[in-house]
């Protein structure tokens, strides 16, 4: 069985950028920067990009390229069973994320249509929670299926799985070559319109005005490293899987630089667009930018619709473009997240891509219906928090510690990257991976563990968002722990004979062992 | 907008968009060089 490959280098880069650029770039980065020193945040942000983001990207690109497999197979080929579980863990973290991420894309898709006549009306918050999400149940209860979410959810899965069925080159690559330039173009149009609005300068002032005192605060640095880490799609098994489809002669290091800078460039563009319209909103309402600045679901589905209502003209078009950009950014990320387990299942069980898409994607689609119920938002919120903090961040920490300190593979991987890349990796790469990243992620993880174990959130229950102990345990902790447990269980089984052996000097190792 | 905000905005653009442009330029240059090497 010959391994799929990307058609072109640009195709691979588009796919990697498509994976990295997601909803977080639009609705998370601007607020994180604003909250953590405004313009001064760029200093820790750039440090984090160059000492954690890009080094981890290079690490994952190198692992995938050298061992030529999905994340579990690559780790298995690197060091056998003692490393394989880490790949499965990352893969199951991706599986969990895909099941709720699809639902957010479904919301964005529906809001794209709502934009034409501003169906959300004047009370955008009431519309989102009561009319659209029909959030009338308590956390932990499902209620009935919300058909207005279920139908676009089916469309999201049909598009995603259809693209994956078409394969790496004719599916993922082609889709990204269309979606990413379209997304960038749409966002440029949004930004041009946004910065020409009344009050835009006030928003940009709030976003860029540097508060240099903030960079003396260690939490700002942790926020910068945390953001870079979550933003680049590292520790998701994605970048390992994607780079395993690269041809043997590939410039890994420069590909990582392009991906990292492209992701940050888009974030900056998004920050300008978001804060320009927030400035407009503040000017219209006669309030400060601080009063309208927000992030996440609230920013996208409450604040933005309210801003679109106030637009001086072409309200429908602006809304359509904004929610279409969210949909496209989400779809390119979802296909990459889903590809991790399609590749993993194909290789572990020796099944066809079609079967892996049907089984893996079908199962994820089925589970995602839970998030299309009346209580779906609560399940989504708690799963998202726990899987990100104790899934993605934990995988990232364990990954760098294992590869650099336990398996001692950093040297071999550095040699491999240097052999095929123009930009040679020096001591900064190993130092970043072996020292800076573990310290920052370890510090972050320690704080998170303390916050959760000792229930130190400033809420009634002391839990995240004030959820009950039972809901926190089953909706969050069990989901994050489940990814690790499934990861360990899957690593116990044998690999299909086509993938069991590996000759790293061969172009097509699996084919030669058939 | 204040001068400090404008300066930070310009520096941010130069570093991030410039970094992207430089890495793409490097990729194009090296791919041309590789092609010439393969042909030569």
Residues of B in contact with A46 (CB under 8 A): 15
**What is the Cβ-side half-sphere exposure of residue B40, based on CA atoms within 13 angstroms?**
6
What are the chain B neighbours of A265 within 8 Å (beta carbons)? 16-17, 19-20
Contact B30 A264 (CB under 8 A): no
Picking from A19, A347, A340, the residue whose alpha carbon sits closest to that of residue A175 is A19
User: What's residue A510's pLDDT?
Assistant: 44
User: With 0-12 CB in 10 A as exposed, 13-18 as middle and 19+ as buried, what is A4?
Assistant: middle
Report yes or no: A19 and A176 within 8 Å, Cβ to Cβ: no
Q: Is A478 helix (H, G, I), strand (E, B) or coil?
A: helix
Supply the ipTM of this predicted assembly: 0.92
Q: What sign does the CA torsion over A149, A152, A158, A161 have?
A: negative
CB atoms < 10 A from the CB of A448, how many?
Answer: 17
Shortest Cα distance, chain A CAs vs residue B34, angstroms? 11
C-alpha A346/C-alpha A352 separation (Å) is 6
Beta bridge partners of A130: none
Query: How many residues are listed for chain A in this entry?
Result: 514
Q: B31 falls in which pLDDT band (50, 70, 90)?
A: confident
How far is Cα A383 from Cα A380, in angstroms, rounded to an integer?
Answer: 5
Selecting from A38, A208, A262 the residue whose C-beta is nearest the C-beta of B20 gives A262
Query: Is B10's Cβ below 8 Å from some Cβ in A?
Result: no
pLDDT (tens, 9 = 90+) of chain A, 514 residues, equals 678 899 999 999 999 999 999 999 998 999 999 999 999 999 999 999 999 999 999 999 999 999 999 999 999 999 999 999 999 999 999 999 999 999 999 999 999 999 999 999 999 999 999 999 999 899 999 999 999 999 999 999 999 999 999 999 999 999 999 999 999 999 999 999 999 999 999 999 999 999 999 999 988 998 999 899 889 989 999 999 999 999 988 999 999 999 999 999 999 999 999 999 999 999 999 999 999 998 889 999 999 999 999 888 889 999 999 999 999 999 999 999 999 999 999 999 999 999 999 999 999 999 999 999 999 999 999 999 999 989 999 999 999 999 999 999 999 999 999 999 988 998 999 999 999 999 999 999 999 999 999 999 999 999 999 999 999 999 999 999 999 999 999 999 999 888 877 765 554 444 434 3
- Assess contact for A498 and A510: CB atoms under 8 A: yes
In sequence order, what are the beta bridge partners of A38?
A: A210
| Chain A residue nearest residue B2, CA to CA | A205
pLDDT over 90 at B39, yes or no: no
The confidence score (pLDDT) of residue A379 equals: 96
Report the pLDDT value the prediction gives residue A500, as an integer from 0 to 100. Answer: 75
Contact flag B17-A268 (C-beta cutoff 8 Å): yes
Say yes or no: A252 contacts chain B, CB-CB below 8 A. Answer: no
The number of C-alpha atoms within 13 Å of A487 and in the hemisphere containing its C-beta is 30
CB of A422 within 8 Å of a chain B CB? The answer is: yes
A5–chain B Cβ distance below 8 A for any pair: no
Smallest Cβ–Cβ distance between A261 and the set B5, B11, B19 belongs to B19
A254/B27 touch (CB, cutoff 8 Å), yes or no? yes
Tell me which chain B residue has its CA closest to the CA of residue A201: B1
Contact A9 B24 (CB under 8 A): no
Residues 259-288, chain A: which have Cβ within 8 Å of B?
A: 261-262, 264-265, 268, 272
> Would you say A401 and A231 are in contact if contact means Cβ atoms under 8 Å apart?
no
3-class SS letters over A145-183: ECHHHHHHHHHHHHHHHHHHHCCHHHHHHHHHHHHHHHH
> Which residues does chain A have within 8 Å of residue B4's beta carbon, measured at their own beta carbons?
39, 209-210
The number of C-beta contacts closer than 8 angstroms across A and B is 69
Q: Which residue of A has its CA nearest to B3?
A: A209
Q: Name residues whose C-beta falls within 8 Å of residue A175's C-beta, 6 or more positions apart in sequence.
A: A163, A331, A332, A335
Residue A244: its pLDDT value, please?
A: 96
Cβ-based contacts of B12 with chain A (< 8 Å): 39, 42, 208, 268
Q: Report d(CA A256, CA A253) in Å as an integer.
A: 5
Helix (H) or strand (E) holding A89: helix A81-114
How far is the C-alpha of B34 from the C-alpha of B40, rounded, in Å? 10
How confident is the model at residue A506, as a pLDDT?
54
Q: Which of A210, A262, A265, A276 to mutate to test the interface with B (most CBs of B within 10 A)?
A: A265
Q: What residues of chain B lie within 8 A of the CB of A254, using their CB?
A: 23, 26-27, 30
Q: Pick B8's closest partner by Cβ from A39, A201, A264.
A: A39
3-state secondary structure of A38: strand
Instruction: Give the per-residue pLDDT at A121.
Output: 93
Answer whether B30 touches A (CB < 8 Å). Answer: yes
CA distance A192 to A208: 17
B24 lies within 8 A of chain A by CB: yes
- Cβ(A253)–Cβ(A262) below 8 Å: no
B2 contacts in chain A (CB < 8 Å): 205, 209
Beta bridge partner(s), residue A373: A145
Spatial separation of the C-alpha atoms in residues A68 and A43, rounded to whole Å: 36
User: B19 contacts in A (CB within 8 Å)?
Assistant: 257, 261, 264-265
Q: What is the DSSP string of A380-418?
A: HHHHHHHHIIIIIHHHHHHHHHIIIIIS--HHHHHHHHH
pLDDT score of A514: 33
CA distances in angstroms from A325 to A103, A182, A276, A288, A413, listed in the order given: 16, 8, 17, 27, 37
Q: How far is it, in rounded angstroms, from Cα A234 to Cα A239? A: 7
Task: Give the list of residues 6+ apart from residue A490 with CB closer than 8 angstroms, or none.
Answer: A72, A85, A88, A92, A348
CB of A406 closer than 8 Å to CB of A21: no
Nearest CB partner across the interface for A268, out of B5, B16, B30: B16
């Amino acid at each position: 069985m010959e391994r799929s490959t990307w058609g072109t280098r640009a195709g691979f880069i588009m796919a990697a950028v498509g994976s990295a650029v997601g909803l977080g770039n639009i609705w998370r980065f601007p607020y994180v920067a604003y909250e953590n020193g405004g313009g001064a945040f760029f200093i820790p942000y750039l440090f984090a990009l160059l000492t954690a983001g890009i080094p981890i990207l290079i690490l994952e690109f190198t692992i995938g390229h050298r061992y030529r497999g999905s994340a579990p197979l690559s780790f298995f080929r690197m060091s056998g069973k003692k490393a394989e579980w880490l790949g499965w863990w990352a893969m199951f973290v991706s599986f969990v994320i895909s099941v709720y991420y699809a639902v957010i894309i479904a919301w964005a898709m529906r809001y794209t249509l709502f934009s034409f006549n501003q169906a959300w009306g004047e009370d955008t918050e009431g519309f989102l929670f009561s009319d659209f999400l029909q959030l009338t149940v308590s956390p932990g209860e499902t209620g009935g299926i919300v058909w207005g979410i279920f139908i676009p959810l089916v469309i999201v899965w049909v598009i995603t799985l259809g693209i994956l069925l078409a394969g790496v080159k004719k599916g993922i690559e082609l889709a990204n070559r269309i979606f990413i330039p379209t997304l960038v173009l749409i966002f440029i149009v949004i930004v041009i319109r946004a910065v020409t609005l009344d009050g835009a300068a006030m928003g940009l002032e709030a976003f860029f005005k540097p508060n240099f005192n903030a960079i003396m605060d260690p939490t700002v640095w942790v926020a910068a490293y945390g953001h870079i880490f979550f933003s680049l799609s590292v520790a998701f098994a994605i970048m390992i899987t994607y780079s395993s489809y690269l041809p043997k002669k590939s410039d890994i290091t420069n590909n990582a630089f392009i991906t990292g800078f492209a992701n940050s460039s888009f974030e900056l563009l998004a920050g300008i667009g978001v804060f320009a319209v927030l400035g407009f909103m503040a000017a219209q309402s006669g309030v400060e930018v601080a009063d309208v600045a927000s992030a996440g679901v609230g920013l996208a589905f409450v604040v933005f619709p309210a801003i679109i209502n106030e637009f001086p003209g072409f309200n429908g078009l602006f809304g359509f473009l904004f929610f279409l950009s969210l949909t496209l950014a989400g779809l390119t990320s979802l296909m990459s997240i889903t590809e991790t387990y399609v590749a993993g299942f194909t290789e572990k069980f020796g099944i066809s891509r079609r079967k892996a898409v049907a089984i893996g994607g079908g199962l994820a689609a089925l589970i995602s219906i839970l998030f299309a119920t009346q209580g779906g938002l609560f399940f989504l919120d708690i799963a998202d928090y726990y899987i990100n903090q104790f899934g993605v961040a934990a995988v990232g920490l364990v990954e760098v510690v294992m590869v650099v300190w336990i398996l001692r593979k950093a040297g071999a991987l550095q040699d491999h990257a240097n052999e095929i890349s123009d930009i040679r990796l020096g001591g900064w790469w190993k130092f970043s991976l072996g020292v800076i990243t573990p310290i920052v992620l370890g510090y972050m993880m320690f704080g998170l563990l303390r916050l959760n174990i000792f229930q130190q959130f400033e809420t009634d229950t002391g839990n995240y968002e004030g959820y009950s102990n039972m809901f926190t345990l089953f909706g969050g902790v069990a989901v994050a722990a489940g990814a690790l447990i499934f990861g360990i269980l899957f690593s116990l089984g044998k690999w299909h004979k086509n993938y069991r052996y590996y000759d790293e000097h061969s172009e097509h190792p699996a084919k030669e062992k058939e | 907008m204040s001068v400090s905000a404008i300066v930070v905005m310009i520096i941010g653009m130069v570093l991030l968009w410039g970094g992207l442009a430089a890495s793409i330029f490097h990729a194009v240059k090296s791919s041309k060089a590789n092609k010439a090497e393969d042909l030569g």
